[in-house]
Each structure stands twice: as C-alpha cells, then as structure tokens.
Amino acid sequence: MTLKTILAAATLAALGTGLAAQEVKIGIAAEPYPPFASLDSSGTWVGWEVDVIDAVCKAAELNCVITPVAWDGIIPSLTGGQIDAIMASMSITEERMKTIDFSDPYYNTPTLVVADKAANIDATPEGLKGKIIGVQASTIHQAYAQEYFKDAAEIRIYQTQDEANQDLVAGRIDATQADSIAMADFVSTDAGACCEIKGNVADDPAILGLGVGAGVRKDDDALREALNKGIAAILADGTHAEITSHYFKASIY
C-alpha cells in the first residue's frame, strides 16, 4: 500500500461516522441522458446510473442526495463546493484528472458514430469526409472529434446530446458521436428509427479515458475511498449486475 492509500484509509476510518451523517450531494447532468438518467412523468430522476448511485451510497453508508447540474458547469460546481461528487457518465481522463480526482470505474463502454441508415458513412476521418458531425459540448466526444475529424468534417457543438440527436433526425447534421449504450438506446426508439450505428471510433485512452468513475475534489480522499468501497461492494455482491440486467442485455462493466 502506498502512503497516500494508508492515509486515505485512516482518514476514512476516522471520518466514517461523519460521512455517514452528513449529506453528500451527488451531481448528475440536468439534461436527460437515457437510459442512464432522465426524469419520469412524476419529475423523479430514474435510470441505470441513478440506481447505481443509490446502491453505491447504500453500500458505502453515505447519505446521498441527487443534485442536477448543467453539464458544462458540473466540474466548476464540484470544485466550487456546490456538489460533493459527480456521477454523470463522466469518463476518467488525464485532462480531467488535472482538476479533480476519480473513484474506481463503475462502467465502461465504447464510443461510436451514428448516422442515417442510407448514409455512406463510417467512424473514420475518411468515412466522415465532407460531412457535418454533431457532438455534445465539454465531453470526450467533442475532444475526440476535434482531434481526429477536424480536417475531414465540420464539427457542430451542442449543449446536450438530445439536441444533437434531434438535428440528426431532422437532417441538419450527417452524424453524431457518443457513448455506445446511449446511442443504442436512441436508435431503438421511434425517434431514432431513421438511424443506425456506423461503427466504433478508433480507441484513444488519452482522450476517451479509462472508463467512467465518480469525480471528487482533489484530495477528498475520504469520500473517494468511501465511493470505492461502495462500488467494490455492489460489484462483488451482484447488485451491479442485477441493476444492469434491468436496462441492458450484457454487462457494461
């Protein structure tokens, strides 16, 4: 064990009662991102990630409150103290780790390109040459598209993935890049019936990250280790798999 890990464990043990007693604000994106998180007809947040948050917090004995925050302001909200952690399908990347720390991953899925079924497009710079590709702002998908597709395609930035999907259906863009699970869900709906998955983009861990984790403030080791404890527990006891089975046909871990 490293000295940092030993100190974190000691801090967690010392503050365990305090963490359990205090309210932990878990930031999620205020914009819908089904099937991970969205509002139901009663105004309640539901989805795979919402269920995982509840399970992780229960296993870690944390008093968590889901707190919606606009995606493009979610990291500033964390560093500014308005929320205590981010669990909003945020990929663990080197760039983000310059500003915040992360828990262990709790899911990991490929990144892909979606376009109209009739379009002769694939998930490469050559396949997108002369096209317009839409991506969500402040995401790994924006960073990836600007690195790999900028010389081939026009890149259009959207505040939410839902807006990009709407413009794809309307024909205002030719393709969009996003997480495979979210886009598989989209193309299975009536709204997305026009479109299909055109393939996974080439992997680049430096941009696309090492899976999705919970973001915490730098050196908030007690909360990070508590979340790690909760993640490990639901993976070990089958809760993670059980939650996943309600939403997906295969593991996303």
pLDDT in tens, 47-102: 999 999 999 999 999 999 999 999 999 999 999 999 999 999 999 999 999 999 99
Distance CA 34, CA 182 (A): 6
Q: Are 128 and 202 in contact (CB under 8 A)?
A: no
| Confidence bin at 209 (pLDDT 50/70/90) | very high
Q: Which residue has the higher pLDDT, 1 or 140?
A: 140
Q: Is the pLDDT of residue 14 over 70?
A: no
CATH 3.40.190.10 segments of the chain: 3-108+210-245, 111-208
**Minimum mean pLDDT among 7-16, 19-28, 29-38: which range?**
7-16
pLDDT at residue 249, rounded to an integer: 85
| Confidence bin at 250 (pLDDT 50/70/90) | confident
CATH number of 111-208: 3.40.190.10
Q: Is 32 left (phi over 0), alpha (psi -120 to 50) or beta?
A: beta
Q: What is the average per-residue pLDDT within 4-32?
A: 70
Q: Is the pLDDT of residue 28 over 90?
A: yes
Q: Is the pLDDT of residue 8 over 80?
A: no
pLDDT at residue 196, rounded to an integer: 98
pLDDT at residue 4, rounded to an integer: 56
pLDDT at residue 18, rounded to an integer: 59
Residue recorded with tokens 């010392």: 14
Q: Are 26 and 53 in contact (CB under 8 A)?
A: yes
Tell me the three state secondary structure of residue 102.
strand
C-alpha gyration radius of the chain: 19
Distance CA 28, CA 45 (A): 10
Helices 221-236 and 3-21, interaxial angle, to 10°? 80
10 Å Cβ neighbour count for 121?
A: 21
What pTM was computed for the model? Answer: 0.81
Comparing C-alpha atoms, which of 145, 114, 102 is closest to residue 231?
102
pLDDT at residue 13, rounded to an integer: 52
Q: 3-108+210-245 is classed in which CATH architecture?
A: 3-Layer(aba) Sandwich (3.40)
| Confidence bin at 12 (pLDDT 50/70/90) | low
Q: Are 153 and 128 in contact (CB under 8 A)?
A: yes
Q: State the chain's maximal CA–CA distance in angstroms.
A: 60
